[in-house]
Amino acid sequence: MNAPLRVGTRGSSLASAQTGQIVDRLRALGREVVVETIATRGDARGDVPVAALAGDGVFVRELERALLGGRIDVAVHSLKDMPTAAVPGLALACVPARASPFDALVGRPGDTLASLPPATVIGTSSIRRVLQVQAARPDLEIRPVRGNVDTRLARLDAGDYRCLVLAAAGLERLGLAARVTAILRPPGFWPAVGQGALGLQVRAGDESARHAVAPLDDLATHLAVLAERRCLAELAGGCLAPVAGWARIEEDGTLRLGARVLEHSGGVVREVVAEDASPAADPGAAEALGRRVAAALVAAGAAPMLERMRAQATAHLLP
């Protein structure tokens, strides 16, 4: 008889909800599952912007330590929170089918980014979202907001903001899709790399855990996020970098990847965009596509933009 599978999650309502969906699927396959809730630095420091914390991975490192230490067998991550650098001894074993990859505007009924009055206050702390809002509507006022989804919505309802920009997938998983007033999608608004997808991480040599989660893997989603994450890795960007990307398999079987790099310079938002496609054949082809799109971005001027943004971010890191 198999020992219970120990699944680790963050303690936020969204993390608990999405881990609960994974646990339900594993139990439906006949696995006994025990859930371990693990606090992360990103959750503990809800008083400051994520970009001000030291380095990326602030929502995953404690889960990874629990994996390496044998406290848990599987860690459930929001894939957009996972740094692209491999962690020795760990492996991304499974990527279930993706929810919506896009961002959503949450405001008053009928609100869209284009329809908002000048000087409207929008809440978001994501560098990527801030720059894209500024590019589309430089006349709006952007204020930082942290905390879990419930906390942010409470501040919206209290009148601190007219609108918020949140991940559509998170609202869907919490049963809050009715709060969405507009979906923000390319070409005007690109999502974070891996947004809407979950990553199930295991110890590299743990074939039992890998076998347990394998039935939950969705090949189309897995190939798409491999392309996105390889593009981000080639640009040497962490999950907090102002890089946006979205890959998807089209009806003809083609894997298409588009990516956008942004910076604020001289009072305006600069951007470079690149897109390419290849047959959705295997992981190697997906990663090769990510490399090509990254190379096209560098050729278009992305490298110095990213370097300037990284220097600005490093100057504001907390110890």
**CB 190: neighbour CB atoms within 10 A?**
26
Please tell me whether residue 7 adopts helix, strand or coil conformation: strand
- The reply to whether 81 belongs to the active site is yes
Helix and strand numbers (H, E) in the chain are: 10, 13
Q: Who contacts 285 (Cβ-Cβ below 8 Å, separation ≥6)?
A: 223, 255, 278, 279
Residues 6+ apart with CB under 8 A from 37: 8, 9, 10, 11, 16
The residue annotated as part of the active site, out of 81, 103, 206, 276, is 81
Buried b (16+ CB within 10 A) or exposed e, 61-71: bbbbebbeeee
Nearest 5°: the CA angle 154, 156, 59 is: 65
Active site residues: 81
